[in-house]
Structure 1
Amino acid sequence: MDAKLAQCLELGQKDKGPAYASLLTEVLARPDTSSTTQDIHIIVDTIVNQDNVGLVVGRQVVAELVRLLAEGAIKDVELQKSIINDTLAVIQPKIVSYEEQAATLRFQLADILENEEEWSDAARILMGINFESSQRSIQDADKLRVYVRIVRLLLEDEDSVQAETYYNRAASIVHSTTDRETVLQFKLCQARISDYSRKFLEAASRYHELSFVGEIDEEERQHMLMAAVTCAVLAPAGPNRSRVLGSLYRDERAADIPTYNILSKMFLDHILRPAEIKNFEGTLKPHQLAKIAISSNDRLAASVASDDVDDASVSTRTGPSTVLDRAVMEHNLLASSKIYNNITFHGLGALLDLTPGAAETMARKMIEQGRLRGTIDQVDKLILFDAGREDDDAQGKAGGLGDVEEAEDTGAPFTKHWDMQIRLTAANVESVVQHLTEKGLLRPTSTVA
């Protein structure tokens, strides 16, 4: 190899490029690949670091190596990875002169790693590409495709923190492309970032929107619909979630997904049972089962408010432990407001499997945030629910999209009770007036003109 390289160095400048390229082809075509990586390293090191080779020849030869690798001159995947990594290491000190070739090599290596499901490694390789180079012009549309790809790869390994950094870069230039595939991939990344960031309502809406896109494969659309339902279930209970649940509940395709049962119970404000929650928990991804911390103030409030309760049957839990736990507790609290006119702290704690103080704290927070209508009587340790009919459009009717027959029996029992009391009172007053009139004890009033 040294002798052949010495011969190439003695050639004229215009003949060096073809000579080195021919030597590369010869090395890559050998049946015995035991010394291929070492020989390629010597060739690349010579053309890059020898001053008498020249930059033009160096670029020409490295570009030829990139072309040969792209055309499959090396079949062994591990050997390809070794050659690409070694070549990138050699040209790194002079990367400014070989930016285009280095970028192409990184794309090739990222493709190999992605096929091997080495998601984070593939993303890191792409991160090494310089998109702000003064040596070459890169269109925003090309940058966007790479940024979206990096986000997708990082999310496969659930690295949502770093993925969000590149998502923000993509969001700033997404307007630069009209390519439908790139835009759809960006929207999917948008939904997944919201999912990982626990912005579940936002994620559910975006997943549901994508599930209607005809260009996406049917199986993928079904998967997105399931993801939308999952995020809607995990979202904070309240009017906004009810609207999203209503939209999903009315989707005819939802009846075919495994989580339809919990979707329907959530929408119809039915209390969820432990067995149903356990089945749903099995469909969740690791980030959706993340532990949540209870603030010291909430823990203190829960313990202080429960000091006067001396009952071995009372739960000792001072708050939800996971995202799912919190979503289910808040839902059951909201559902209980449709069943009861009022409930004691102790009773609500038993329903939610919390200490009475923790149950009061959860109700207080939901009332403060406008997600639950009611008042708290701390003297009598009661939560008084205000389930007026005026809230039906916001809570159970999905933003006024129309009545749902199944939901009619679930809403506003307090209003129905109040209306019945008015009817009974009016009927009793009418009966008394009639009786007094018959006895002559009531005289008709005269009107003055």
Structure 2
Amino acid sequence: MESRLVQLSSLGQKDKGPAFIALVHEIIARPDQSAVAQDIHALVDFVVNQESVGLVVGRQVLSELVKVLGEGQIADPEIRKRVVKDTIDTTQPKIVSFEEQVSTLRFQLADILEEEEEWSEAARVLMGISLDSGQRCVDSEKMRVYVRIVRLLLEDEDSVQAETYFNRAQLLVHSANDKEILLQFKLCQARISDYSRKFLEAASRYHELSYVAEIDEEERRHMLMAAVTCAVLAPAGPNRSRVLASLYRDERTAELPTYNILSKMFFDHILRSAEIKEFEATLKPHQLAKIAISSNDRLASATHDDDLTSSSEPAASTRTGPTTVLDRAVMEHNLLASSKIYNNITFRGLGALLDLAPGAAETMARKMIEQGRLRGSIDQVDRLIWFQGNREEDDAQGKAGGLGEVVETEDTGAPFTKRWDAQIRVTAANVESIVQHLTGRGLVKTGTVHG
């Protein structure tokens, strides 16, 4: 091969290009493909590094090789992958002279690696493309590459590096007109919010994408399920309640395996361990991430618990806080749900409900009250948490969101009076219903009462 290359380099400048190109086709067309990679390496190394060949001829030969490789004329995928990778490595020192050809080869190598599900390796190959040079200064092309890198990195759950390239793509989103790229960008945005534990934002974006008609129906179903999962994992409070209401109103969620936990969370029902275990099986690894308890929270829990050691009540839990993202979401939800049931609750009682130490339960309630996610107050002398009577207001907000009609009620004064009156009305209505049922079946006879 070396003597053949030297012989071709001695030809006239006009004849060199066609001669080397003919040699490329000759090597690839051989019936025995075992030496193709070795001979192509020798050819590329010669035309790139030998001054006698010239830059113009070198570009012509490389362009032809890139075209041949792109057309798949090398049938064996392993040989093709080796040739592409070796050509990139050989040409890389002269990247300034052969930038366009090397960039095209990198796209080809990324395609090969993506087919083999080598996601991170494919992303690193694309990262090596110089997008800031004069030859590739089109913003839409840059964004396409950045979005592809983000998508590949997220496949391997490398959310930290993916966010870096997502931020670069975000600066160019204004210049994108391709619907497919914009949809991929929005999906990456939702997935990065998911990985960053911004679950409310992720749920909203997933839900929005689940309505896009251009996306395959099965993919839309996956996005809807992801929206429900993120809504369940989101911090309990008014914002999550609005997202849950939006998802609960969506008729498609009734067909999802996570519909049971969605409905229970929407209606503020307390979740049981069996339901949590079933939901946990549907989560991805990053959604089961461990969370650390701050030293201040651990100290506060221990301090309060020391004061309760003399209590005659049964031994309380010793857990000082949630251990996973799901654990925290469920505890906060159950705390919010208990505020709809009780007027007040002791630290120990709340700890028993949440499977937390009494001090840790008080710490969680305090944080939620401070953040405006729970309405109530804490009496540390009596070790009580008082919940504000806002159930009627919450019901009205839910109904105004499209779940029913808002019924105006008479203002009877304090919130506890409203609650008491409502309980009396419900009890009286239930008694009346029972009496009518028994009367209809002839089990109760109505008559005049004589004094």
Structure 2-normalised TM-score? 0.89
Residues 1:102 and 1:167: Cα distance change in structure 2 (over 3 Å): same
2:196 corresponds to which residue? 197
Q: CA deviation at 1:162?
A: 0.4
Q: CA deviation at 1:417?
A: 2.6
Could you list the per-position Cα deviations for residues 59-107 of structure 1 after superposition, in whole angstroms to 9, with x for gaps in the alignment? 1101111011111111111111111111111111110111110111011
1:246 corresponds to which residue? 245
- Indicate whether 1:109 and 2:109 are aligned: yes
Residues 1:393 and 1:141: Cα distance change in structure 2 (over 3 Å): farther
2:428 corresponds to which residue? none
Q: CA deviation at 1:413?
A: 9.3
Q: Which moved more, 1:224-233 or 1:384-393?
A: 384-393
Q: Distance in 2 between matches of 1:327 and 1:421?
A: 30
Could you list the per-position Cα deviations for residues 191-221 of structure 1 after superposition, in whole angstroms to 9, with x for gaps in the alignment? 0010001000000000000000001011000
RMSD (Å) for aligned C-alpha atoms: 2.1
Structure 1 alignment gaps of length 5 or more: 406-411, 424-449
Q: Distance in 2 between matches of 1:12 and 1:415?
A: 104
Q: Distance in 1 between matches of 2:347 and 2:315?
A: 14
Q: Distance in 2 between matches of 1:338 and 1:390?
A: 10
Could you list the per-position Cα deviations for residues 154-206 of structure 1 after superposition, in whole angstroms to 9, with x for gaps in the alignment? 00000000000010011000110111111111100010010001000000000
Q: Is the 8 A contact 2:340 2:391 kept in 1?
A: no
Could you list the per-position Cα deviations for residues 219-244 of structure 1 after superposition, in whole angstroms to 9, with x for gaps in the alignment? 00000000000000000000000000
How do 1:399-414 residues align onto structure 2 when only pairs under 5 Å count? 400-404=400-404, 414=416
Q: Is the 8 A contact 1:147 1:169 kept in 2?
A: yes
Partner amino acid for 2:249? R
Partner amino acid for 1:348? L
Residues 1:31 and 1:212: Cα distance change in structure 2 (over 3 Å): same
Q: CA deviation at 1:317?
A: 0.5
Residues 1:415 and 1:337: Cα distance change in structure 2 (over 3 Å): farther
1:131 corresponds to which residue? 131
Partner amino acid for 2:20? Y
Q: Which moved more, 1:2-11 or 1:339-348?
A: 2-11
Q: Is the 8 A contact 1:389 1:415 kept in 2?
A: no
- Indicate whether 1:290 and 2:289 are aligned: yes
Structure 1-normalised TM-score? 0.89
* SS of match in other structure, 1:306: helix
1:397 corresponds to which residue? 398
2:327 corresponds to which residue? 325
* SS of match in other structure, 2:271: coil
How do 1:220-299 residues align onto structure 2 when only pairs under 5 Å count? 220-299=219-298
Structure 2 alignment gaps of length 5 or more: 406-413, 426-451
1:33 corresponds to which residue? 33
Q: Distance in 1 between matches of 2:35 and 2:218?
A: 46
Could you list the per-position Cα deviations for residues 399-439 of structure 1 after superposition, in whole angstroms to 9, with x for gaps in the alignment? x313448xxxxxx995643446999xxxxxxxxxxxxxxxx
Q: How many residues align?
A: 416
Q: Which runs of 4+ in 1 moved over 2 A?
A: 308-313, 402-405, 412-423
Q: Is the 8 A contact 1:66 1:104 kept in 2?
A: yes
How do 1:368-447 residues align onto structure 2 when only pairs under 5 Å count? 368-389=370-391, 391-392=393-394, 397=398, 400-404=400-404, 414=416, 416-419=418-421
2:344 corresponds to which residue? 342
Residues 1:192 and 1:109: Cα distance change in structure 2 (over 3 Å): same
Q: Is the 8 A contact 1:387 1:415 kept in 2?
A: no
Partner amino acid for 2:275? E
Q: Is the 8 A contact 1:338 1:413 kept in 2?
A: no
Q: Distance in 2 between matches of 1:420 and 1:184?
A: 49
1:435 corresponds to which residue? none
